[in-house]
Structure 1
């Protein structure tokens, strides 16, 4: 006992010396530590304020961009600026523009006035408030000249104490030159109250006498101050960059301690990205270190107590705690704190043994959350983790204690319902789970919604061992996924047959190319006015050696999932190009052939080289090939998409967006992508005869496309009334069963020889 006591006393002595040394060092360094902590806190406050102001300014920039890209505003500006036009038309155009501007800005209470000033037209300004100003009242102002110098870029104008156009209140402004297609120019001028900026700066707590302000490069106040008015020289000077290092980018955030008015002041500055204005915060150093003694004594006491207690607790309980922690980690999910797959399997095996002995039934529920990937991609993985944690917490709290809930992996959960009496009991629990999962979850002031697909297997009818029960519940869940998600389904033996049938289809699809079972049919694309065939779309079909013709809806998803779509897509592209070249060599009038590109095919590294090789090998001129991509492809990794599309366009190939309006419908790719045509999805045409709203949508797409120099093809035309409406809306081309079903190559050649589908304009 004495032998073990001496080492213990030695360890205790060494520990005491170390704790005392750390305490003395902390005692001497407490002032420096506190000052550094408070300096870091001030820097973080400035960074946060700069970020918030940048977001506010970026929102205004986005708002101006929406205005200058609005087709209604642009067309009415053209009418208003044309002094040769009818005066009543100009008056109506001005009112229409005011109405649109009011709608755009009505929810922004901090926006005071919105104006449109003509640059090269003698007409008056257009303003959302008050009468129009004469051109002479502003043309010589300095802000007007700054706006012109921006030449299409956003120009931020510094705060003025009484506003820019006599508003009488402190405002700053953003302006931007709008250039119409005709060359006519206007200045969009948005005057913004400084109240939000002042409130944001005032929220920063910087001691009793510290404050945060907004300054320009001349150290003039652009916001409120305790000891200065807007536009006055600020009493705290701006920090100058280090002349030895000219790299200005390093000084977007600067801090220093300077003596001002006989006192040491901590000064921190940060630059706004959009405007170049400076956010400056200052705090007297005396306020930073006023609690030094309190912090020092508290730290000393805490270190001594924590060191002593930690030593004793470690000595007595470390092994026991480590063992329990290791066991817990081995059987629980680290994110949700639920049981993991290993623990669930053990509990499931035990439940099987008990149920077998007592003749009981139980259910295994396999839950898969729908669209968790979309939440991760949209809001980040932090949102997805929060969703998983909250759902796990709900399951633990709401489900009976005798139930076992586990995270199977990713967005999948397992629930063991012991001792069930009948299927109705399970049905009631399934409805309760669905409602529980669909409750909103809040993440960063956003409401996130999620649903679930649930599969159920019952012991002993659906399996007598754990792996079979889990597998069959999983299969039932996937059956729900395939039929539309957000539902539940009990396992039945037919699911095994269907799963095996899908496996057989995949196996046969891998050999379909070498067996020459795939074939192409061609659906004519018709010029709406003349009725002439201007192109064909190549569509793939599969003639199975046993099942006959198989719909693309059955085998294309399998091809996409297994990436067989890449070789199939190359075969389609080669065959379509070769067939089009053969038609041309037979003397038929040349038309373009459209080929759909899948996302896997489009993202393959050598897509441009493959297309170029196929064109060379088939001898087809590039202008007679049109490649179609969907909106979902267009919005995936936009920079890479632009590079790929530009490479294809450089070959001379035409690019079109298929199924327009059913995906992300972002106008950015219409401006940035080298596309020639939009294809309006059939879903918009189905109800356009009865629904004025559907007609308005189709008409808007056509007008917008034509204004961007794009052609429009309507898909799925099946009725003569649809054709007549498309003619009225000036649609370029159309395809669908009204004109022709997809045709075999020889039948399509006969149609091309006739060179007309119907008499245009009937």
Structure 2
């Protein structure tokens, strides 16, 4: 017994000495190890802050560069600065510049004010400050002198009361010289919260802080016991009492004694504004946890090490297996079930329902307008919205329901054991109400609605794939009929879907089979009665179904992107026909061609139009391109650039279906257009409804004030003609004058050039 016990004691003693030695060594090294670890972590944090601030400041420099190279602004600024400009010219130019500033700059909520400061004392500054903000003589201020001495671009430190706006801000200035030699200083004030928010993301414990300093060691962000603009209590790193501990290529690290306590300082310099990010942590806080090692005993070390290792191994293995399975069956963003898990649970529910003769419902949910939110506020807003909606559905719906994210903005809900349809209706209305509740993102309210399709087992399918497919089909039926509603699957939807696929297949061959043809509807001047132009309208003569309405095949062409080759064919054929009429000696008129959203947004639209004009020989002034109001508001800045490129070719631009979209007049006045086309929906009730009549009159007056012509579409009665004439409408187009005509009949009408006055009853 003793013989066996001694080796055990020897091993235990050796183990005790070994662990005790390791414990002592660990304690002796713990301070330096922890300090080094925290130092490296802080260095990384400072580098990340420096990189983020550099990127942010460069983005504002790019923004100011886009401003001083904008042709519209430069031309208005030249008008404002010109000696030949009178007071009204300068007022108009200044307002145009302010409008452009609002479009270009104030899309960023952190920008508080923008100023254009002339270096010629004869001119006033152009500023976005409200009229009640008093102006100052900026030419004698230190920041103005600093801006002039800063070269092409200069950054200015934070001011608690701003430079001119009165708000806490920092600023970037950029010099601007017009071709006339007139010099300006662009000053953009940016709210300090954008700096503070960036720095507040970094956590340095209870006693640590991270601040932004200028070259004079003055605070550009708040600190413990100090505000912006004050000299920081921690001395700069170039003082002699600092002992260097470590350094990186762009980061300085040092320890300094302040008020008897050592502080770790890690500083990084911005490459853009010559400012400095500085992190300060008390050294005592870095090593406060080392006292725990001192109290570690031999028994606890051995026991904890062995038990922890075994438990951790078993726990991590089970956790890893569970995590892998969870990730395989759940959506990583919303934490809902994914498509795979939903399909498995759906198959189980089918088995239970089949065994007990039960019914259940599958709901296919698609969020409306999520793409607009992503395009407007970024994908972070869209992700926040998806997460919040998922949380609401999980919390509020019955726990027996299965909720899954199908993909993108689509969700699936499995509602088991339903009795009457009223139960399904109640759940649908609950889901719709939850989704329509506002969601807050960066102090903004976001709203979406939902289109919901429903399939019932076994009425609408006896397998999982059929139920999901049919619910999806019902949802798309809701989308087509206006969104924000719900619909149950119907067998007619299958027939319609098959019919659309069949039409799409035949439409792909319609061009090569020469089944497409163009009709031309004349447009008449109300003042003279002569034909001012014609609109090209496409028709499809199907080999089996005869003449198919554009309302039936154009949406199919849009969804399948066939509208792009069809649109190019329409453009070429219309230009070619107009040129043929002119070569035949007929009166020269404009031909109007509608551009689809896919055509207009394609990168080569300007080159396509230019090529068609060259191939057909038609002069650009006889081609008018029509875009709808909804297309014009997709991406305003890109739309303006595209329209300017088309306008430079010499073609005319018109806005079709005006009044049915959501256009802003502040954008509309910047579009290089020459005509608005009033939608038929305003004319239908114009005679009986004074409000509709007032809207049409307001559109005409507004258009004329912007030097735009107005064409009324869908004119069908002489009462409408008379009222439009009284409202000074320029042109009309409708069945009362002429239906769409074949090229031959349209040529005859051009020869006759019949006045509507001669056709009055």
Shift in Å, 1:572: 1.0
- Cα contact 1:34–1:288 (8 A) shared by 2: no
Partners of 1:433 and 1:460 lie apart in 2 by 23
Pair 1:746-2:747 in alignment: no
Shift in Å, 1:487: 1.0
Task: Describe the SS at the equivalent of 2:403.
Answer: strand
- Out of 280, 289, 313, the position equivalent to 1:294 is 289
Task: Describe the SS at the equivalent of 1:400.
Answer: coil
Shift in Å, 1:419: 2.3
Shift in Å, 1:579: 0.6
Partners of 1:144 and 1:318 lie apart in 2 by 62
- Cα contact 1:114–1:128 (8 A) shared by 2: no
Pair 1:365-2:363 in alignment: yes
- Out of 462, 465, 468, the position equivalent to 2:466 is 468
From the superposition, tell whether residues 325 and 737 of structure 1 become closer, same or farther in structure 2 (CA, over 3 Å).
same
Q: Deviations over 1:389-419 (max 9, x none)?
A: 3333333332223333333333333222222
- The runs of 5 or more residues in structure 1 that have no matched partner are 1-8, 241-249
Partners of 2:437 and 2:665 lie apart in 1 by 30
From the superposition, tell whether residues 583 and 639 of structure 1 become closer, same or farther in structure 2 (CA, over 3 Å).
same
Which residue of structure 1 lines up, in the alignment, with residue 476 of structure 2?
Answer: 478
Instruction: Give the TM-score normalised by structure 2.
Output: 0.70
Which residue of structure 2 lines up, in the alignment, with residue 268 of structure 1?
Answer: 267
Partners of 2:294 and 2:647 lie apart in 1 by 68
From the superposition, tell whether residues 366 and 47 of structure 1 become closer, same or farther in structure 2 (CA, over 3 Å).
same
Which residue of structure 1 lines up, in the alignment, with residue 379 of structure 2?
Answer: 381
Shift in Å, 1:426: 1.4
Pair 1:512-2:510 in alignment: yes
Q: Which moved more, 1:73-82 or 1:533-542?
A: 73-82
Which residue of structure 2 lines up, in the alignment, with residue 590 of structure 1?
Answer: 588
Shift in Å, 1:556: 0.7
Which residue of structure 1 lines up, in the alignment, with residue 39 of structure 2?
Answer: 35
- Out of 557, 560, 569, the position equivalent to 2:558 is 560
Task: Describe the SS at the equivalent of 1:486.
Answer: coil
Shift in Å, 1:229: 11
Q: Deviations over 1:141-177 (max 9, x none)?
A: 88889999999x9998878999989x99999888999
Shift in Å, 1:580: 0.6
Partners of 2:458 and 2:158 lie apart in 1 by 76
Which residue of structure 2 lines up, in the alignment, with residue 128 of structure 1?
Answer: 131
Partners of 1:235 and 1:348 lie apart in 2 by 64
Q: Deviations over 1:156-215 (max 9, x none)?
A: 8878999989x99999888999999xx999989999899979988998999979884664
Shift in Å, 1:618: 3.0
Partners of 1:363 and 1:170 lie apart in 2 by 56
Shift in Å, 1:31: 1.8
Which residue of structure 1 lines up, in the alignment, with residue 569 of structure 2?
Answer: 571
Q: Deviations over 1:347-388 (max 9, x none)?
A: 333333333333322222222222333333333434333333
- Cα contact 1:81–1:121 (8 A) shared by 2: no
Partners of 1:396 and 1:130 lie apart in 2 by 50
Partners of 1:231 and 1:288 lie apart in 2 by 24
Shift in Å, 1:428: 1.3
Q: Deviations over 1:700-728 (max 9, x none)?
A: 4554x54xxxx545452633466447638
Partners of 1:169 and 1:339 lie apart in 2 by 48
From the superposition, tell whether residues 23 and 496 of structure 1 become closer, same or farther in structure 2 (CA, over 3 Å).
farther
Shift in Å, 1:683: 7.4
Q: Deviations over 1:9-60 (max 9, x none)?
A: 9xxx9xx99x969968765432222223334445556667778889999999
Partners of 2:681 and 2:270 lie apart in 1 by 48
Shift in Å, 1:540: 0.9
- Cα contact 2:700–2:710 (8 A) shared by 1: no
Q: Deviations over 1:70-116 (max 9, x none)?
A: x999999999984799xxx99xx999x99xx9xx99xx999899999
Which residue of structure 2 lines up, in the alignment, with residue 402 of structure 1?
Answer: 400
Q: Deviations over 1:505-551 (max 9, x none)?
A: 22332333344332212233455665554433212122334544432
From the superposition, tell whether residues 427 and 113 of structure 1 become closer, same or farther in structure 2 (CA, over 3 Å).
closer
Partners of 1:162 and 1:465 lie apart in 2 by 68
Which residue of structure 1 lines up, in the alignment, with residue 275 of structure 2?
Answer: 278
From the superposition, tell whether residues 327 and 224 of structure 1 become closer, same or farther in structure 2 (CA, over 3 Å).
closer
- The runs of 5 or more residues in structure 2 that have no matched partner are 1-10, 240-247
Q: Which moved more, 1:363-372 or 1:487-496?
A: 363-372
- Cα contact 1:684–1:694 (8 A) shared by 2: no
Partners of 1:312 and 1:297 lie apart in 2 by 23
Partners of 2:681 and 2:308 lie apart in 1 by 70
Q: Which moved more, 1:717-726 or 1:504-513?
A: 717-726
- Cα contact 1:631–1:665 (8 A) shared by 2: no
Partners of 2:253 and 2:455 lie apart in 1 by 68
Partners of 2:343 and 2:195 lie apart in 1 by 60
From the superposition, tell whether residues 605 and 310 of structure 1 become closer, same or farther in structure 2 (CA, over 3 Å).
farther
Partners of 2:754 and 2:119 lie apart in 1 by 49
Partners of 1:334 and 1:159 lie apart in 2 by 41
Which residue of structure 2 lines up, in the alignment, with residue 682 of structure 1?
Answer: 679
Partners of 2:435 and 2:153 lie apart in 1 by 45
Partners of 1:401 and 1:282 lie apart in 2 by 48
Which residue of structure 1 lines up, in the alignment, with residue 6 of structure 2?
Answer: none
Which residue of structure 2 lines up, in the alignment, with residue 423 of structure 1?
Answer: 421
Partners of 1:325 and 1:570 lie apart in 2 by 53
From the superposition, tell whether residues 305 and 490 of structure 1 become closer, same or farther in structure 2 (CA, over 3 Å).
farther
User: What's the Cα RMSD here?
Assistant: 6.3
Q: Which moved more, 1:388-397 or 1:612-621?
A: 612-621
Partners of 2:561 and 2:167 lie apart in 1 by 63
Q: Which moved more, 1:661-670 or 1:288-297?
A: 661-670
From the superposition, tell whether residues 322 and 428 of structure 1 become closer, same or farther in structure 2 (CA, over 3 Å).
same
Partners of 1:228 and 1:451 lie apart in 2 by 45
Q: Deviations over 1:657-679 (max 9, x none)?
A: 555673665967976x8x45454
Task: Describe the SS at the equivalent of 1:747.
Answer: helix
Partners of 1:622 and 1:463 lie apart in 2 by 57
Shift in Å, 1:436: 1.9
From the superposition, tell whether residues 297 and 536 of structure 1 become closer, same or farther in structure 2 (CA, over 3 Å).
farther
- Cα contact 1:50–1:272 (8 A) shared by 2: yes
Partners of 1:645 and 1:380 lie apart in 2 by 25
Partners of 2:187 and 2:540 lie apart in 1 by 59
Partners of 1:356 and 1:168 lie apart in 2 by 72
From the superposition, tell whether residues 722 and 179 of structure 1 become closer, same or farther in structure 2 (CA, over 3 Å).
farther
Instruction: Give the TM-score normalised by structure 1.
Output: 0.70
Shift in Å, 1:488: 1.0
Task: Describe the SS at the equivalent of 2:334.
Answer: coil
- Cα contact 2:68–2:176 (8 A) shared by 1: no
Q: Deviations over 1:309-356 (max 9, x none)?
A: 553135445665555444444444444333333433343333333333
Q: Deviations over 1:423-454 (max 9, x none)?
A: 11211121112112222333444433222211
Partners of 1:187 and 1:543 lie apart in 2 by 62
Partners of 1:444 and 1:754 lie apart in 2 by 63
Task: Describe the SS at the equivalent of 1:363.
Answer: strand
- Cα contact 2:517–2:538 (8 A) shared by 1: yes
